[in-house]
């Protein structure tokens, strides 16, 4: 009899411990089991569930079929049970994430509600919070796919491509799509790949500082401003825009009291060599290297009396300029390269000339040339004689 009583008491203790454990797990209390162990209650319910797209509690609306549902974290939770209700239908378990957020993708038009409960370390119904945190209704209203713009144009020529730019800066325009939230603009250089360069909200885009080359542009419309929803399935592609810039400015050097020319050297293979020849004071030889893309060169001279630039003079394809000034102590020049796209920027050159000028011709008997000072570093109207020629020879006189 005594053995049966002991066994009965022991069984009642086990049952009591199980009872108190379940009692605690459904969230009613945290109690001490008969065997002295603490029976812990399950985690609490998340305090809020939110839709981060609107950064507020439901209800909310989204035009995208992809979004994230967030809820407040529960420190004691090992995982969460997230359920979804579509268009007022049956609640279905869709995820058991261990973190307090879940990403939904590819949702179609409709209404969606979500509720979540927190659970302990074991995936066990009795280890979850007694209730759930219910969110409001999320309405998914997908934006319709936009048509491609009807045309793409280059306003510099006010016509559809192809076109030409001589500046490297231009505006690409396209026809407006009335319901578009943004546009996706791509560029192709030469035969290269298409690359997205902009996502403008309006139907134009300014391009600047493009080097020489061929450029193509294509555009599609998107329903949203982010350019991620309802985008055209095809692009509207323009033709080729050719950027042809004028040649760059030449680099000019100067040599005083000289003239420059090319001298033909005869031989088995004739060739030209540069040659500088002594010239009268007040002369200057300006030279520069040939510029790629240049077919001719131009120069103009500053008029000190009128304080204006003279007109541009064309030199053809020669890369030098011989200049003589009778009465000025300095001269200012601008020289520029010209090609099929016009003339480019100029190089400014200021030359300080000799203060002496020849008077008459060289005396062939004495070999001396009389010169007069026109100011500057010598006494105005001072005369001098310099060796300039050898007897019985003629002088090189400007």
Q: What is the average pLDDT across 127-140? A: 86
pLDDT above 70 as % of the chain: 83
User: Does 145 fall in a domain?
Assistant: no
Residue 319 has pLDDT above 90, yes or no: yes
Distance (Å, whole) CA 42 – CA 169: 67
- 294 in any annotated domain: yes
End residue of a domain, out of 85, 109, 140: 140
Last residue of a domain, one of 192, 222, 243: 243
Mean pLDDT of 265-271: 81
* Least confident span in 89-93, 182-186, 213-217, 270-274: 270-274
Element (H, E) at 332: strand 330-339
Say if residue 277 is preceded by a cis peptide, omega within 30 of 0: no
156 and 239: one domain?
Answer: yes
CATH number at residue 282: 2.60.40.10
Do 76 and 128 fall into the same domain?
A: yes
In terms of domains, do 263 and 321 share one?
A: yes
> Which H or E element spans position 52?
none
Within a domain: residue 147?
no
For the chain, the average pLDDT equals 83
Q: Strand, coil or helix: what is 126?
A: helix
Residue 59: cis peptide before it, omega within 30 degrees of 0: yes
- Is 306 within the bounds of a domain? yes
Indicate if 135 and 163 belong to the same structural domain. no
Supply the pLDDT for residue 221: 93
What local confidence, expressed as pLDDT, does residue 201 receive? 94
Same domain, 220 and 195: yes
Q: What total number of domains does the chain contain?
A: 5
pLDDT band with cut points at 50, 70 and 90 for residue 396:
low
What's this model's pTM, rounded to 2 decimal places?
A: 0.56
Whether 61 and 67 have beta carbons less than 8 Å apart is answered as no
The answer to whether residues 58 and 119 belong to one domain is: yes
Q: Residue 221 sits in which domain range?
A: 152-243
Tell me which of 191, 209, 243 is where a domain ends: 243
Q: Do 300 and 346 share a domain, yes or no? A: yes
Residues 161 and 231 in one domain: yes
Range picked from 43-47, 166-170, 312-316 for highest mean pLDDT: 312-316
In a domain, 146, yes or no: no
Q: Do residues 171 and 223 share a domain?
A: yes
Residue 126 has a pLDDT of 54
In a domain? residue 94: yes
Give pLDDT, residue 162: 67
Same domain, 230 and 298: no
Question: pLDDT band for position 137 (50/70/90)?
Answer: confident
DSSP code for 286? E
Q: Examine residue 44 and state whether it is found in any structural domain, yes or no.
A: no
Q: Identify whether residues 163 and 230 lie together within a single domain.
A: yes
Integer CA distances (angstroms), 381 to 327, 328, 356, in order: 12, 14, 9
Residue 286 has pLDDT above 60, yes or no: yes
Q: Are 279 and 362 part of one and the same domain?
A: no
Q: Is the pLDDT of residue 37 over 70?
A: no
């Amino acid at each position: 009899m005594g053995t049966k009583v002991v066994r009965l008491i022991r069984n009642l203790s086990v049952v009591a411990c199980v009872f108190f454990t379940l009692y605690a797990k459904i969230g009613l209390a945290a109690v001490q089991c008969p065997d002295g162990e603490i029976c812990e209650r399950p985690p609490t319910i998340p305090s809020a569930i939110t839709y981060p797209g609107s950064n507020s509690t439901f209800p909310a609306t989204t035009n995208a079929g992809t979004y994230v549902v967030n809820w407040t974290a529960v420190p004691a939770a090992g995982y969460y049970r997230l359920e979804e209700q579509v268009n007022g239908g049956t609640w279905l378990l869709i995820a058991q994430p261990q973190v307090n957020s879940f990403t939904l993708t590819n949702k179609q038009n409709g209404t969606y509600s979500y509720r979540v409960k927190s659970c302990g370390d074991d995936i066990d119904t009795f280890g979850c919070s007694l209730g759930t945190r219910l969110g409001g209704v999320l309405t998914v209203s997908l934006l319709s796919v936009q048509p491609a713009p009807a045309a793409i144009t280059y306003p510099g020529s006010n016509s559809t491509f192809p076109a030409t730019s001589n500046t490297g800066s231009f505006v690409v325009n396209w026809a407006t799509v009335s319901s578009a939230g943004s546009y996706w603009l791509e560029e192709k250089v030469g035969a290269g790949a298409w690359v997205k360069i902009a996502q403008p909200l309006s139907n134009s885009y300014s391009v600047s500082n493009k080097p020489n080359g061929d450029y193509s542009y294509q555009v599609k419309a998107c329903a949203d401003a982010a350019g991620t929803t309802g985008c055209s399935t095809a692009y509207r592609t323009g033709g080729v825009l050719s950027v042809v810039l004028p040649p760059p400015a030449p680099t000019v050097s100067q040599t005083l009291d000289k003239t420059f020319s090319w001298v033909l050297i005869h031989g088995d293979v004739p060739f030209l060599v540069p040659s500088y020849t002594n010239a009268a004071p007040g002369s200057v030889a300006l030279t520069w290297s040939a510029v790629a893309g240049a077919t001719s060169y131009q120069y103009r001279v500053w008029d000190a009396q009128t304080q204006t630039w003279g007109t541009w003079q064309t030199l053809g394809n020669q890369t030098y300029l011989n200049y003589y000034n009778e009465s000025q102590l300095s001269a200012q020049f601008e020289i520029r390269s010209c090609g099929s796209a016009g003339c480019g920027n100029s190089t400014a050159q200021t030359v300080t000339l000799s203060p002496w000028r020849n008077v008459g011709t060289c005396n062939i008997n004495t070999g001396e040339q009389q010169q007069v000072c026109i100011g500057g570093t010598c006494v105005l109207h001072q005369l001098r004689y310099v060796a300039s020629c050898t007897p019985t020879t003629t002088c090189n006189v400007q």
